[in-house]
Chain A
Amino acid sequence: MKRSISKGMAAGLGVALAVTMAACGKTEPNNNSSGGSGDVDCSVYSQYGDLKGKSISIYTTFVDAEGATYEESFKGFEQCTGADIKYEGSKSLTTDVLGRIEAGAVADIVAFPQPGLLQQAVATGKVLEAPAAVAKNVDTYWTTSWRDYGSVDGKLYASPLGASVKSLVWYSPQAFKDAGYAVPETWDDLLVLTDQITKDGDVKPWCVGIADGDATGWVATDWVEDMVLRSAGPAAYAQWVNHESPFNDPKIVESLEEMSKIVRNDAYVNAGIGNIQSIAATPWTDGGTPLLDGQCFLHRQASFYGGNYAQESATVAEDGDVWAFYLPSADPSIKPILGAGDFVAAFADRPEVVAFQTFLSSPDWANAKAKVTEGGWTTANNGLDKANLRSAVDQLAFELLSDPSAEFRFDGSDLMPAQVGSDAFWKQMTAYFAENKSEQAVADAIEAAWPKS
């Protein structure tokens, strides 16, 4: 998947924005949260030194209201160190950044939305290794697997920034209560529940939407990854992502077949929308909407989808209109979690850049960011105080990310080469729905697209 974190966040913030505007008729909602920025506690920033007159540029994929929360989260750093942060957010970062690096026109710090792109950037030789202070923060506040995602050939280049959890199933607590359904604890329970829902009424249980313009298909790749984690297991998942086993390995094809039990069963999908084919035509942002009016019971989508529900004026909470449960695995003793995140790397080693990079990898920034964000953002930085997260689903995601019994695995399509992860994989999964292409044919075609060398 690509860009999807920013999408969800943007959606969430849009609501915040609309709500604020409706509530108090103000037209500059972003100033609301900055009310207290005048009395920042500068003691936490003293370690970064005096950076008066220095400027640091940062380039990210976060725009609009979402981008504004990032700029807001840098305010304390700017005020206390005197540095000036030049912020640029652009949705075309993934297409532009390598060209900018090559041309020597890149910002001091870039937030890469996926590790695969970071690796390609590192291959240009222009990305600097993470300074010692950043490495220390990463070792202290993140698990080793997160350190690995920001590393290439064992060297740490980038520190993690935000994160999201994908292994969630959205549902309506009220509808479950009315029908007497319980949140399933195992994969089999989930299949039984699915079947039960079809028997109890004339609604289908699952709604899915994978369309997203030029990124159509990423939702389906998340499904596949979650299924591989559950059906083939975390070890096989790692081999598959690193291409140590082929994409069309029998275990992967089996996982796809397991997935077909739900998403290619006409009795189960596409609730409130149409037939199986309609999955490929439904925008991901509309995929979970039928849940709100009882036409759909289950919607597998990442934590950031909460923003979409909020935008439809639904309350996202355990006792609200919509809530999410962990997509269970076959064996409840293993708890794989699929997630994604972004990573910041530097292209300059001026002292102020190092200081800012260190700040971004610290709990100081994570907490500052949480405080100014309405919803749709979380991190795997364990120095974050959960109470600072302002939305319930972000807190749930953070709990899952810091659950020691869980096995976190990074979104595979973000780690695979772009020809596969954001091209063939998307295309083939779209054909899987649109043309009813067989599991084996889908896997074979993606394997064939894997770069040779």
Chain B
Amino acid sequence: MTVATVPAPPAGTGKNPAPRSGRAARARRNLTSPWASVVALGIGLIWSVPTLGLFVTSFRARKDISQTGWWDALKPQNWGQFSLNNYQTVLSGGGTSDLSDYFINSVVMTLPAVVIPIFLALLAAYAFAWIPFRGSNILFVGLFALQVVPIQVAMVPLLRSYVDMGLNASFWVLWLSHAMFGLPLATFLLHNFMKDIPRSLVEAARVDGAGHVTIFFKVIAPLMVPAVASFAIFQFLWVWNDLLVALAFGGNTPDLAPITARLADMAGSLGDRWHVLSAGAFVAMIVPVAVFLALQRYFVRGLLAGSVKG
């Protein structure tokens, strides 16, 4: 966030820095009211109730699930109902292929699909933020507006192009498609951050005779780490949880299909195998949650940094 990366803002100039920070610390303490925490935790718990329901369900047998509410299973006399059968079914794969194949596919599909749009959007954001040219704003807004195009309209035209190029049913089409669909948001967010990097820093580098490459890597890139990490997690969540793009362009084969496709299949269909799907949803969730926890510190400081005036 800007506070971390940019020299302290000029406000409060008349004051002695040391007491100021002391007072701020006091303000901090004063703001931490215990009841606010209680209310927050309350909301947090309400938010978690639906997920908790699924979690409890994932340990129950189909018959119990469709006959009694999941809260019934929490009563001590019903604890005997809990079993790991659903997880066993999920982890054994159920079909002809091992679950790990699909897991690898998900990883292989996701990483480039996150990295590629970041590379490209960084370049675009740099141009929008630091190279003045006519029509810059119109182009930027146009790009941003493209977020509204539903992915579904692109399916058939894109598939046809991919077939013509001979790329059909390969990872390349998945990476390219995810990159394309992620670019408007990526450019929008990264630009929002980049434009608020103090002009003075860039100007100073220019005066020193630095070209675009130097400015990009020496000045801009280090400051962009938090923003990139933030976009990365959103794109990661989207790609990891995607089913639509993978099935439309890749197909449901063990060579390409991601873990979400496998899990959706395991449900048999929505409704008749709730019990398996409930366990599957948690298995699929492990990786995104781990990534969130790992990137959380960047995330918290990133994304919007740009839109806040330091």
Contact = CB atoms under 8 A, between A and B. Distances in A.
A88 B253 contact: yes
Given A286-B66, A313-B63, A27 B92 contact: yes
A105 B169 contact: yes
A17 B89 contact: yes
B66 A289 contact: yes
A18 B269 CA distance: 16
B268 A102 contact: no
Contacts of B248: 92, 96, 99
Interface string B26-67: 000000000000000000000000000000000000110011
Contact of B155 (A21, A89, A99): A99
Interface residues of B, number: 37
B88 A91 contact: no
B92 A21 contact: yes
Given A90-B252, A105-B163, A30 B88 contact: no
Interface stretch (B135-143, B230-238, B271-279): B271-279
Interface string B245-278: 0011001110000000100111011111100100
Interface stretch (A64-72, A146-154, A200-208): A64-72
Contacts of A92: 247-248
A10 B273 contact: yes
A355 B261 CA distance: 31
B96 interface: yes
B94 interface: yes
A388 interface: no
A308 B272 contact: yes
Nearest to A26: B92
B160 A10 contact: no
Contacts of B272: 7, 10-11, 14, 283, 285, 308, 311
Given A64-B265, A99-B155, A104 B96 contact: no
B159 interface: yes
Contacts of B88: 21, 27
Nearest to A3: B269
Contacts of A67: 95-96, 265
B251 to A, nearest CB: 6
Contacts of A30: 95-96
A284 B66 CA distance: 12
A152 B109 CA distance: 41
Interface in B143-199: 155-156, 159-160, 162-163, 168-169
B269 A91 contact: yes
Nearest to B96: A68
B105 interface: no
Given A17-B89, A27-B88, A88-B253, A96 B247 contact: yes
Contact of A21 (B89, B156, B252): B89
Given A68-B96, A88-B253, A96-B247, A285 B271 contact: yes
A91 B265 contact: yes
Contacts of A11: 268, 272-273
A27 B85 CA distance: 11
A105 B247 contact: no
A103 interface: yes
A10 B163 contact: no
Interface in A309-327: 311-313
A289 B95 CA distance: 27
A68 B271 contact: no
Contact of B271 (A91, A105, A212): A212
Interface string B84-109: 01001101111110000000000000
Contacts of A17: 89, 94
Interface in A4-27: 6-7, 10-11, 14, 17-18, 21-22, 27
Given A14-B276, A91-B264, A92-B247, A311 B62 contact: yes
A100 interface: yes
B63 A64 contact: no
A18 B66 contact: no
A180 interface: no
B89 A68 contact: no
B265 A89 contact: yes
B72 to A, nearest CB: 16
A332 interface: no
A7 B155 contact: no
Contacts of B276: 14
Interface string A80-105: 00000010111110001001101111
Given A64-B265, A104-B160, A312-B63, A18 B271 contact: no
Interface string B271-304: 1110010000000000000000000000000000
Contact of A6 (B85, B253, B269): B269
A28 interface: yes
Contacts of B253: 86, 88
Contacts of A65: 94-95
Which residue, B266, B268, B272, has most C-beta atoms of chain A within 10 A? B268
Contacts of B160: 102-104
Interface in A84-137: 86, 88-92, 96, 99-100, 102-105
A53 interface: no
A114 to B, nearest CB: 16
Interface string A168-192: 0000000000000000000000000
Given A289-B66, A311-B62, A105 B252 contact: no
A238 B248 CA distance: 36
A387 to B, nearest CB: 27
Nearest to B272: A285
A88 B251 contact: yes
Contacts of B265: 63-64, 67, 89, 91
A451 interface: no
Which residue, A28, A88, A213, has most C-beta atoms of chain B within 10 A? A88
A64 B95 contact: yes
A104 B62 CA distance: 42
A212 B272 CA distance: 9
B156 A18 contact: no
A92 B270 CA distance: 13
Contacts of A211: 271
A10 B159 contact: no
A63 B95 contact: yes
A10 B268 CA distance: 5
5 contacts: A11-B268, A17-B94, A67-B95, A91-B264, A105-B159
Interface of B: 62-63, 66-67, 85, 88-89, 91-96, 155-156, 159-160, 162-163, 168-169, 247-248, 251-253, 261, 264-266, 268-273, 276
Given A21-B85, A30-B96, A212-B270, 8 more contacts: A10-B272, A21-B89, A63-B95, A89-B265, A90-B261, A102-B156, A103-B159, A308-B272
Those 3 A-B pairs whose CB atoms lie nearest each other, nearest first: A10-B268, A27-B92, A63-B265
